[in-house]
Amino acid sequence: MNGLEIDPFIAALPKVELHVHIEGTLTPALRWKLAHRNNISLPYKTYDELANSYKVTYNHRREVNGDNGAPTFLEAYFAGCQVLCTEDDFYELAMDYFKKAHEMNVRYVEPFFDTQAHTRRGIPAEAVLNGYLRAQQESVGKYSVRSNWIFCFLRDEALEDGLDAYRAALPWARTRDGKGKGLFHAVGLASNEYNRPPLLFEEAFRLAKEDGLHITMHCDVDQKDAVEHMHEAIFDICDGAGTERIDHGLNAIDREGLIPGLKSRGIGLTLCPHAYHRRQATEVLFPKIRRLWDEGVKICINSDDPTYMHNVWIDGNMMKVYKYCGFTKADMVTLVRNAVEISWADEGTKTEILKELELVIC
Ligand SMILES: [Zn+2]
């Protein structure tokens, strides 16, 4: 956090997290434990060596930034996934996250997950889905954290693979016919977007929409063709209806027409400031976030992959915009209200959190 302490006001604020990849919350401690439990060898001799490996700033995308000798973020992230093998492992990963969420006063979460990163290692999709489902159900009573999950297509894999994974996972969805198990209620698009625009997955999004699921997609910051991807997400996807939400989307400020498109279509952005702060200077980044806010785009603050991003979680991300965007306490409450409004929580959950926010003293 570069010496930035979390203010008690930020710590106490009720929170909603709409952009966190569950595998991006795998702590070095749990990775170490699962590696031993599952007999998976790690390229680190001691726990300290493993923990120290998280201190680097990863090369975000080698295709975009060139090779600087550091591992890429996705290499580190998928290397971490190797230790997740059984239903209990996925359950434990999610419960660890929910415990942490509870400690940060997070009331409601929409975690991203995928099955493709696991089935391609020979792990059955059922192990992933049942582990998360059990955690989703238990976290309500144990940690008072509710969640609806988002199934992600890995965009650097073939569409057909994604469709197969989606069909296999569908019994765990909360679909229109009400027969699903209720784990996920939306689909997203994650992983490396280099030369992988949203429209390549048009069929997948249309299918999910027919099944009654919500639609979101990553438009990561400063990627190749970032503004073209934003344009597709806002105006072209789903037969021109557009996406419901965009994950990141900071590049909306870089092309005329994108901000009005976001506003007229009511598309919210799930921003993860620390993820960008690793790559952009304070005085460059935070005025951009401030501009989206001043223009009236519905933004909310999230964490992305906290354990791979210097252990900065949603509270740290909120602290950063509180400090560097010059937001007031009332603005911080509005940011959480935005998250509630662009979430797909049921009305009861939304009302409860909004009521709690009314009681926050600014
Ligand atoms: Zn993300």
CA of 78 to the centre of ligand 1 (A): 14
For residue 2, is pLDDT > 80?
no
CA of 61 to the centre of ligand 1 (A): 14
* Assigned token pair, 121: 């290692």
pLDDT mean over 112-133: 97
Q: What is the pLDDT of residue 64?
A: 78
CA of 359 to the centre of ligand 1 (A): 31
Full DSSP string of 210-242 = HTT-EEEEEE-TT-TTHHHHHHIIIIITTTTT-
Give the neighbor-by-neighbor strand order of the sheet with 245-248.
112-113, 149-154, 184-190, 214-219, 245-248, 268-271, 299-301
pLDDT per residue over 74-90, tens digit each? 888 899 999 999 999 99
pLDDT mean over 235-245: 97
- The confidence band for 332, taking pLDDT boundaries of 50, 70 and 90, is very high
Query: Taking Cα atoms as reference points, which of 182, 239, 171, 169 lies closest to residue 209?
Result: 239
Query: Taking Cα atoms as reference points, which of 65, 59, 53, 62 lies closest to residue 26?
Result: 53
Looking from the CA of 244 toward its CB, the CA atoms found within 13 Å total: 19
pLDDT per residue over 166-197, tens digit each? 999 999 999 888 889 999 999 999 998 999 99
* Domain residue ranges in the chain: 11-343
Q: What is the pLDDT of residue 178?
A: 81
For residue 57, is pLDDT > 90?
no
CA of 275 to the centre of ligand 1 (A): 9
For residue 291, is pLDDT > 90?
yes
CB-CB contact of 302 with 267 (8 Å):
no
Element (H, E) at 334: helix 329-342
pLDDT per residue over 253-265, tens digit each? 999 999 999 999 9
CB-CB contact of 128 with 37 (8 Å):
no
Question: Given the structure tokens 């900071």, which residue do they identify?
Answer: 250
Q: What's the one-letter identity of residue 315? A: D
Q: What's the one-letter identity of residue 73? A: F
* Assigned token pair, 248: 């990141």
For residue 285, is pLDDT > 90?
yes
CA of 63 to the centre of ligand 1 (A): 18
- The confidence band for 59, taking pLDDT boundaries of 50, 70 and 90, is confident
Q: What is the pLDDT of residue 58?
A: 82
CA of 58 to the centre of ligand 1 (A): 15
Full DSSP string of 71-98 = PBHHHHHHHHHTT--SHHHHHHHHHHHH
Give me the CATH topology for the region 11-343.
TIM Barrel (3.20.20)
CA of 19 to the centre of ligand 1 (A): 6
pLDDT per residue over 144-166, tens digit each? 999 999 999 999 999 999 999 99
CA of 45 to the centre of ligand 1 (A): 30
- The confidence band for 72, taking pLDDT boundaries of 50, 70 and 90, is confident
For residue 124, is pLDDT > 80?
yes
CA of 292 to the centre of ligand 1 (A): 19
CA of 21 to the centre of ligand 1 (A): 6
CA of 189 to the centre of ligand 1 (A): 9
Q: What is the pLDDT of residue 17?
A: 98
Q: What is the pLDDT of residue 74?
A: 86
Question: Given the structure tokens 């700033």, which residue do they identify?
Answer: 57
CA of 193 to the centre of ligand 1 (A): 11
* Assigned token pair, 129: 């889905």
Q: What is the average pLDDT value for the chain, to the nearest integer?
A: 95
Percent of the chain with pLDDT over 90: 89
CA of 18 to the centre of ligand 1 (A): 10
Q: What is the pLDDT of residue 175?
A: 85
Q: What is the pLDDT of residue 63?
A: 79
CA of 362 to the centre of ligand 1 (A): 30
For residue 321, is pLDDT > 80?
yes
CB-CB contact of 117 with 139 (8 Å):
no
Q: What is the pLDDT of residue 1?
A: 72
CA of 20 to the centre of ligand 1 (A): 6
CA of 347 to the centre of ligand 1 (A): 26
CA of 135 to the centre of ligand 1 (A): 21
